[in-house]
Amino acid sequence: MADEINNINRRDFLKSAGVIVTGSALGAAGMTLRPEMAQAVEAVEAIPTTLTQFRCPICGKNFGSFADLKNHFATEHPDAVVPVTTKLNINGKDCEVLIEPHWTLQRTLQFKLGLTGAKHMCDRGACGSCTVIIDGRPVLSCMTLAVECEGKSIQTVEGIAADPKWRPLIDAYCKWDAMQCGYCTPGMLVTAKSLLERNPNPTEEDCKQALAGNICCCGTYPRHPTAIMEAAPAIKGGA
């Protein structure tokens, strides 16, 4: 049995254990302790913009430069696919990620950028829980390769939440319980935002059509058009 001291110390633990100690954005209790929108703003601000470490995905060794990593692959893993660096624009912020070429955008958002709003549910384009907006269109991030997204503008639910303009939509979702377990809700909200950008005055039928690709296993469907239509005038007025 291995006995190394792992890389997470108590300080890190306390920092992230918002529930118990600090009320950080990561934890449930944090949501009751701090302004709600601040959590989304922090999530966006926390997106790492530059690569400082180049970690080998096969053996876990860290390198100071991409060139060093490539050399490592050439000598240690000559048959393996070399990772790539990809530049993404997430929620208006330019960033660079080191990924393997087959990584999806959902995987990249979660594992490289610390964004947890694009949820992994079906992992094959059936449920809509991982929806993000790319160049103005709702897209399934589990079906989109991250390397395809270079040069495109990607907006996640965190970016929407960090923009005061969309606060009425989120408030309406909360007011009407347009979520139960909530796992699919961020994807729903992203789709709803995309709808409102295209159609500031949607009807109930418009809402249903727009959300037809988002699956909610809790059956919250009737709540979404209610929330979207209630929020629409405030968003339109505030635009």
Partner 1 sequence: MADLAGVNGQREKFRVVGKPNLPGRLSYGIATGIAKYGIDYVVPNMLHAKFLRSPYASARIKSVDTKKARKIPGVVDIITWEDEDIKNLSSGGGFMGPALPFLDNLADQEGAEVGVIVVAEDEDICEEALRQLDVKWEVLPHVVDILEGRKPDAPVIRPSPPPAKGGFGGSGMGGNNNPPKKGNVSYSNVNQGDVEAGFREADHIIEYNVNLPAFSGHIPNPTGSVAWWFDDPYHGEGKSLRIEGTPWGHDQVVGMYRMPAEKVFQECMFVGGRYCDWGIRKSQLITPLLAKRTGRPVRCVNDRYGMYDFNLNQRFIHLKIGIKKNGLIMAIDDFSIADNGGRGSSSFGTTMDQTYGPYFTTRCQNVRQNMDIVDSNRGKMWVSGQHNPMNWDALMVGIYVIAEKLGKDPMDIATLNLHGPTSQTDPDPVPSFEACLKAAKKMMNWKWHGTGARKLSDGRMHGASFRYQQCPRHSVSGYNPKLELRNGVVHMPTKGPVIGNYIMEANIMVVAEELGLEYKDISTELDHHEIFRPWGGGSDGTTASSWALKECANILKKRILEAAIEEADNPPASMGFGFFAKKPAGPSPLKGRKPEDLDLQDGKVVVKADPSIGVPLAQAVKANLFATYSGRPPLALWTHQGKKLDTMNIAMCEVAVDTETGEVEILRFGVVADPGKIMRRTSLESQIDQVMDFTAGCQLYEDFLYDQKTGVKLSTNMFEYKKVGMLDMPRVDLELLETRAGNAAYGSNGISHSLANTHLVIMAIHNAIGKWVDPPATPDKVLKALGKA
For residue 5, state whether it binds partner 1 (rule: CB under 8 A). Answer: yes
Which lies closer to partner 1 via its Cβ, residue 97 or residue 216?
A: 216
Q: Which of 186, 181, 164, 189 is CA-nearest to residue 239?
A: 164
Which amino acid would we find at residue 42? Answer: E
3-state SS, one letter per residue, for 36-87: HHHHHHHHHHCCCCCCCCEECCCCCCEECCHHHHHHHHHHHCCCCCCCEEEE
For residue 100, state whether it binds partner 1 (rule: CB under 8 A). Answer: yes
For residue 58, state whether it binds partner 1 (rule: CB under 8 A). Answer: yes
CA distance 239 to 231: 12
For residue 26, state whether it binds partner 1 (rule: CB under 8 A). Answer: yes
Quick one: which segment of 89-97, 143-151, 166-174, 194-202 binds partner 1 (CB under 8 A)? Answer: 166-174
CA distance 34 to 128: 29
CA distance 145 to 46: 22
191, 213 Cβ separation under 8 angstroms? yes
Which lies closer to partner 1 via its Cβ, residue 4 or residue 237?
A: 4
For residue 51, state whether it binds partner 1 (rule: CB under 8 A). Answer: no
For residue 154, state whether it binds partner 1 (rule: CB under 8 A). Answer: no
Tokens of 26: 């990561």
Which of 47, 69, 98, 160 is in the footprint of partner 1 by CB under 8 A? 160
In the complex, the smallest distance separating the C-beta of residue 25 from partner 1, rounded to whole angstroms, is 6
For residue 146, state whether it binds partner 1 (rule: CB under 8 A). Answer: no
CA distance 113 to 49: 9
Which of 98, 149, 161, 232 is in the footprint of partner 1 by CB under 8 A? 161
Which lies closer to partner 1 via its Cβ, residue 37 or residue 152?
A: 37
Which of 92, 101, 114, 200 is in the footprint of partner 1 by CB under 8 A? 114
For residue 74, state whether it binds partner 1 (rule: CB under 8 A). Answer: no
